[in-house]
């Protein structure tokens, strides 16, 4: 594969153009902003919840000539972060316990992700205009097509050799594939850098003093990923660089990785083109190589402009 083909393995969807998906809103239109995308099977499960007497959702009216819902929204009766979080937790726990949607709910993590919506009082400078609207179990976010947020760090030596981990064979997703050095989801209540510090120790054994002293945030990548099972996963990954002395070696701590190997750029690119990297980790490394001038118009052997643009896609959904 060339690098653009690799990017398209991850950024492989545009749900805004998919008329089969039902918009999921934070509150009913016209005031409620869209926060996700629902497949028909999830809409049917929500309709069943409403029939059972749940007050968690509001259903959009169906037109005379159409059987499709115009939208699904969280009920206006749920006014606070806590009320929305509790109601959504009750729904997805019920689905899990009843055996609905085993993919993805069989991958239950007991980790909460933040879902964002507009602040009622946005600041004058326009920064931070979205706030966490509720928290939801990580594995359930794909059911609702919600934007999720993660952190990815690439640790490398001054001569640009990169520490590459191999994912544990027991991982529920992409077992045995290669990653960038450290990655993880941002749990509800955390900011990106604190998440990065925690993940660096848990996955690679990097001490907090090293990370806080040498880690640099370098931007974000964003993309729409549709899983093999068809779930829509809009994702944002905050990216970080960590330059370390060759004597500093990562080590597996929490079992997420089974080993680390120090590879030069050409080795990384060769393994990437052979499809050995987890798709979004390949994006992070392509972004890294572009930022450091190691991947250029002259040597990328594909449409360089499209490659760069494909790493930064506006999601059109509320983000922090």
Output the average pLDDT for the chain: 92
pLDDT, residue 30, reads: 80
In the chain, what are the domain boundaries?
3-12+148-309, 15-144
Average pLDDT over residues 76-87: 95
Confidence band, pLDDT 50/70/90 cuts, at residue 65: very low
pLDDT, residue 126, reads: 55
CA dihedral of residues 160, 151, 202, 182 (deg, nearest 10): -30
Q: What percent of the chain has pLDDT over 90?
A: 85
Measured from the Cβ of residue 274, the count of other Cβ atoms closer than 10 Å reads 9
Question: Per-residue pLDDT for 314 more than 70?
Answer: yes
* pLDDT tens by residue, 182-199: 999 999 999 999 999 999
The partner residues of 14 in beta bridges, in order of sequence, read none
Check: CATH 3.30.750.160 for 15-144? yes
pLDDT, residue 69, reads: 76
- Same CATH topology for 3-12+148-309 and 15-144? no
At residue 191's C-alpha, the angle toward residues 92 and 320, to 5°, is: 70
* pLDDT tens by residue, 39-59: 999 999 999 999 999 999 999
3-12+148-309 — its CATH code? 3.90.79.10
* pLDDT tens by residue, 278-289: 999 999 999 999
Confidence band, pLDDT 50/70/90 cuts, at residue 173: confident
Average pLDDT over residues 5-10: 94
pLDDT, residue 161, reads: 97
Question: Per-residue pLDDT for 245 more than 70?
Answer: yes
pTM for this one? 0.92
């Amino acid at each position: 594969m060339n690098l653009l083909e690799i990017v398209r393995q991850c950024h492989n969807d545009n749900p805004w153009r998919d008329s089969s998906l039902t918009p999921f809103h934070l509150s009913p239109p016209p005031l409620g902003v869209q926060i996700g995308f629902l497949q028909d099977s999830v809409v049917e499960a929500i309709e069943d919840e409403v029939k059972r007497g749940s007050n968690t959702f509001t259903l959009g009216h169906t037109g005379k000539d159409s059987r499709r819902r115009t939208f699904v929204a969280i009920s206006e009766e749920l006014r606070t972060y806590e009320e929305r979080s509790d109601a959504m937790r009750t729904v997805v726990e019920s689905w899990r316990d009843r055996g609905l949607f085993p993919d993805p709910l069989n991958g239950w993590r007991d980790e909460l992700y933040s879902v964002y919506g507009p602040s009622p009082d946005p600041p004058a400078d326009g920064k931070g205009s979205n706030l966490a609207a509720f928290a939801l179990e990580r594995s359930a976010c794909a059911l609702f097509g919600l934007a999720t947020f993660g952190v990815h760090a690439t640790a490398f030596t001054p001569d640009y050799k990169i520490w590459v981990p191999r994912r544990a064979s027991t991982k529920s997703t992409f077992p045995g594939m290669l990653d960038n050095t450290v990655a993880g989801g941002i749990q509800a209540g955390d900011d990106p850098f604190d998440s990065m510090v925690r993940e660096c120790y848990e996955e690679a054994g990097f001490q907090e003093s090293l990370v806080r002293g040498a880690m640099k945030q370098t931007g974000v990548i964003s993309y729409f990923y549709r899983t093999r099972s068809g779930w829509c996963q809009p994702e944002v990954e905050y990216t970080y660089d960590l330059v370390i002395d060759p004597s500093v070696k990562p080590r597996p701590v929490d079992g997420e990785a089974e080993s680390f190997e120090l590879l030069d750029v050409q080795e990384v690119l060769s393994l990437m083109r052979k499809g050995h990297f987890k798709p979004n980790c390949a994006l992070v490394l392509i972004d890294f190589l572009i930022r450091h001038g190691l991947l250029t118009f002259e040597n990328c052997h594909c449409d360089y402009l499209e490659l760069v643009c494909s790493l930064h896609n506006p999601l059109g959904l509320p983000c922090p």
